[in-house]
Amino acid sequence: MLAINNISFAYGMVQALRGVTMKFAPGKVTCVIGRNGVGKTTLMQTIMGIRRHNSGSVQLGERDVSSLPANRRAKAGIALVPQGRQIFAKLSVEENLRVGLQARSDGKKTIPEDIFELFPVLKQMSKRNGGDLSGGQQQQLAIGRALAGDPKVLLLDEPTEGIQPNVITQIGHVLQKLVTERGMTVILVEQYLDFVKEFGHAFYIMNRGKVVSEGPTTELTEEVIERHLHV
Ligand SMILES: Nc1ncnc2c1ncn2[C@@H]1O[C@H](COP(=O)(O)OP(=O)(O)OP(=O)(O)O)[C@@H](O)[C@H]1O
């Protein structure tokens, strides 16, 4: 279980998060949705420890990880697939995956074979440079790199952005596997509501740095969407 309690964060005078409290269950995909600029990316960066929240706490299981920097949160089992993927263009696919190994707490130095089973294209392309891959392949690489660190909690910031439909479906099935077979806690920032409804179990809607609605995705009705998400 990952829980965040009363998290606030400001960029100077811009208050991006205002007392956000959320719970993320293992074995479930929890979706964080909201219009542009409501604080979703800031929230993911805060959970990862890339941005240090001004107040509140981040609890991973029994452990309060609020004071840990990002690299130690990664070792504790949190991984982020960032918005825009941020793969290393000049490194090969294999080298990108090796970067992910550094987050492991068991010191393992080889890329786990199951990453190639989840994303066979990464095996076929293993010697190619990251920058030569298509957008969809880069997204798979970014997820594979996060999984190389053997996380318990996987954060994904808009993984379907700019990706062709067949790869979106493949990514959805991988997330389904990670939660059902490994009991992983998956947290998904997503604008694509069909994906949320198909693969998500629970949702939080944010507006102006706050939670304004939450529930199981079966309760993500047209009325809720109309009230909180339409511009
Ligand atoms: N580096 C920054 N410096 C100053 N303000 C920022 C910075 N990054 C984000 N903000 C502001 O913080 C608020 C929240 O931004 P954030 O990117 O977290 O929202 P978001 O919901 O992820 O949006 P999007 O869907 O467009 O990515 C916005 O008002 C944004 O303009």
All structural domains of the chain, each given as residue ranges with its CATH number in brackets, are 2-84+151-228 (3.40.50.300)
Q: Is the beta carbon of 46 within 6 A of some atom in ligand 1?
A: no
Query: How high is the pLDDT of residue 230?
Result: 79
Spatial distance between the Cα atoms of 160 and 146, rounded to a whole number of angstroms? 16
> Among 9, 11, 205, 228, which residue has the most ligand 1 atoms within 8 Å of its CB, making it the best to mutate?
11
Atom 31, ligand 1: which residue's CA is nearest?
37
- What residues in the chain have per-residue pLDDT under 70? 231
Query: How high is the pLDDT of residue 159?
Result: 94
Query: How high is the pLDDT of residue 1?
Result: 87
Q: Is the beta carbon of 20 within 6 A of some atom in ligand 1?
A: no
Query: How high is the pLDDT of residue 209?
Result: 97
Query: How high is the pLDDT of residue 37?
Result: 93
Which residue's structure tokens are 């890329």? 111
From the alpha carbon of 45, which atom of ligand 1 is closest? 18
From the alpha carbon of 38, which atom of ligand 1 is closest? 21
Q: Is the beta carbon of 14 within 6 A of some atom in ligand 1?
A: yes
Contact 42, 20 (CB under 8 A): no
Residues in contact with 47: Cβ distance below 8 Å, sequence separation at least 6, in sequence order: 2, 4, 58, 78, 80, 155, 187
| pLDDT tens readout for residues 120-154 | 999 999 999 999 999 999 999 999 999 999 999 99
Query: How high is the pLDDT of residue 229?
Result: 84
Token couple for 187: 């947290």
ipTM of the prediction: 0.95
Atom 28, ligand 1: which residue's CA is nearest?
37
Dihedral of the CA atoms 92, 165, 193, 24 (nearest 10)?
-40
Token couple for 231: 């511009």
Residues in contact with 149: Cβ distance below 8 Å, sequence separation at least 6, in sequence order: 74, 79, 100, 101, 102, 103, 104
Query: How high is the pLDDT of residue 157?
Result: 97
Alpha carbon 47 to its chain centroid, in Å, reads 10
Atom 2, ligand 1: which residue's CA is nearest?
11
Token couple for 153: 């909690």
Query: How high is the pLDDT of residue 54?
Result: 82
Q: Is the beta carbon of 34 within 6 A of some atom in ligand 1?
A: yes
Helices (H), 77-221: 93-101, 113-118, 120-124, 135-147, 165-182, 193-199
Q: What is the pTM of this model?
A: 0.95
